[in-house]
Amino acid sequence: MRRWPDGQQLHDGKYIIEEYLGGGGFGETYRAQNLQEGKSVAIKTLNTFQQFQPDFAKTQGKFVNEALSLAKCRHPHIVEVYEMFQEGDLWCMAMELIDGIDLYTQIRENGIFSEPKALSMIQQLGDALTCVHKQNLTHRDVKPENIMLRKRGMEAVLIDFGLARQANSSGKLMTNSVTGTAFFAPIELAEKRPQLGAYTDVYSLAATLYNMLTGQKPIPSPGRKIIDPLIAPKLYNDRISDRVNAAIIKGMELEPQNRPQSVQEWLDLLIPKPVAAETTRVISAVGMDYINLRNLLAAKKWKEADEETARVMLKVAGRDKEGWLEPEHIEKFPCEDLRTIDQLWVKYSNGRFGFSVQKRIYQSLGGTSKLDEKVCKAFGDKVGWTKSNELYNNEVTLTFSEKAVEAHLPGIKRLNWCYSKQYSSLYSKIPMPCFADDRVAVSCLVASRLVDCNI
């Protein structure tokens, strides 16, 4: 079969090919439009070369297993598989099309990452790999080319599970299939019948961090065994902390038994334990990652934490593209995620800020799950967002300081939806005027949701 041209229809007209995106030794990927849902997707299938190989049926079976492996790993930092379908004799995978660039391109075009930014992304990828390992799977091809960065928020997403394999009951994985990219692959992948496990991905993730912080690719592991030990990343970049330098070296130990045996064990070396421990206690109904919010709050970066709160709430509600929440999204917002966000704010502000603090004031003014304009106006005055008789002013500046009045934060200004004629249809959805600084309306809705969630 030749490569599909632009305009080719697939799956009985459900998808139409828009562009060939590229391919590798096994697969090729297209951007397509889902005509039924009106959204862009990626469609991956085996390439023309593989289709003419004598073992094509076996290879295609492994490709289908890739999709099944991905479907088991629902995580915000793992590419989402929508469905598998057959086009003639060829199996196709319809999956999330990530708006962004791969990590390799990001480093090549923009240089190395700061340590805090790199660690935030590695934490995201580590959590994703932990999800993979819980399914008794090993990715075994973690590298910058297989990590996408979303344009919005620069979130890291793990892609391309073409080399993932099912582990046996002992947690080890026996395979002699093709190895991953040499610079990021551990020594065991070069063996004829390697024993693989979570420690295999630990090496590759550590090597990826090495590349993010230095811009250098580490010496391939077989070469390290013959000619030279690993060059410490700190020798390339003296701004790397001693802790991170040591954790990378430990994660890239040549012999598997000398490495941390799980991703979480390695993350505990890489990131201070209070940070790593916090991630095990937060709860999300949709698998949202709150490590960055936690870190910002712990550092007392109130403005950045306020913006991060808005970002994660939009992400949880599936409204990150639109950039605002309508009342119905707040009314259905998962209680687990509201509770997690609130607990982080309350903890790191010593009880001064948080949704539950705002709810307490809201209720003290007579607020209930039914919105009331007078209560909301009084609430805006109380938390320092409005001044008497100035509810409809164009802008109220937040105070990002612990000296701000109680319950002043989070202000979640980015969640506002109105005071624009194009959104006038939303006005009828709330029993009050549309406030110019409508964080008051949004926060009243959040407060009423907390009443429902018993937070």
327 vs 412, more confident: 327
Q: What is the pLDDT of residues 185-209, one digit of tens each?
A: 898 887 766 678 899 999 999 999 9
φ, ψ dihedrals at 22, nearest 5° = 140, 180
Residue 22 burial by Cβ neighbours in a 10 Å radius (0-12, 13-18, 19+): exposed
Rounded to an integer, the average pLDDT of 124-133 is 89
Question: Residue 412: which of 351, 339, 345 has the closest Cα?
Answer: 345
Pick from 227-241, 243-257, 362-376: least confident: 362-376
Per-residue pLDDT, averaged over 281-304, amounts to 83
CB atoms within 10 A of CB 190: 14
Domain spans, the chain: 9-96, 100-278, 290-453
Instruction: Evaluate whether the domain defined by 100-278 bears CATH number 1.10.510.10.
Output: yes
Mean pLDDT over 418-430 rounds to 36
Q: Say yes or no: do domains 9-96 and 100-278 share a fold.
A: no
Distance separating alpha carbons of residues 129 and 201, to the nearest angstrom: 8
pLDDT at 327: 80
Contact (CB, 8 A) for 328 and 405: no
- Minimum mean pLDDT among 15-24, 96-105, 319-328: which range? 319-328
Which of 36-50, 76-90, 245-259, 415-429 shows the lowest mean pLDDT across its residues? 415-429
Q: Residue 282: its pLDDT value, please?
A: 60
Highest averaged pLDDT of the listed ranges 29-38, 161-170, 376-385, 400-409: 29-38
Give the model's pLDDT for residue 415.
Answer: 67
Cβ proximity of 234 and 246 under 8 Å: no
User: DSSP string of 109-123?
Assistant: HH-PPPHHHHHHHHH
CATH number for 9-96 (one of 3.10.20.30, 1.20.1250.20, 3.10.250.10, 3.30.200.20): it is 3.30.200.20
What mean pLDDT comes out for the span 37-56? 86
C-alpha span between 212 and 177 (Å, rounded):
28
pLDDT (tens digit per residue) in 162-186: 544 433 333 333 333 344 478 998 9
| pLDDT in the model for residue 160 | 78
pTM: 0.59
Residue 388's pLDDT is what? 45
Give me the pLDDT at residue 41, please. Answer: 93
The predicted structure's pLDDT at residue 3:
83
* Model confidence at 417: pLDDT above 50: no
Yes or no: say if 342 and 356 are a contact pair by the CB < 8 Å rule.
yes
Q: Label residue 422 by pLDDT band (50, 70, 90).
A: very low
Q: Which amino acid is at 135?
A: Q
User: 192 versus 210: which is more confidently predicted?
Assistant: 210
Q: Residue 62: is it exposed, middle or buried by C-beta count within 10 angstroms (0-12/13-18/19+)? A: middle
Helical residues (DSSP H) of 317-365, grouped into ranges: 327-331, 335-348, 355-364
Q: How does pLDDT run across 308-323, given as a tens digit for each residue?
A: 998 999 999 888 888 8
CA distance to 149, 154, 183, 235, per residue, from 42 (Å): 16, 19, 27, 40
132, 78 contact by CB (below 8 A): yes
Look at residue 261 and tell me whether its pLDDT is greater than 90. Answer: yes
Nearest alpha carbon to residue 266 among 245, 251, 281: 251
Model pLDDT, residue 109: 95
User: Does residue 336 register a pLDDT over 90?
Assistant: no
- The full DSSP string for 125-141 is HHHHHHHHHHTTEE---
Which of 272, 274, 354 lies closest to 306, judged by CA?
A: 354
Mean residue pLDDT across the chain = 80
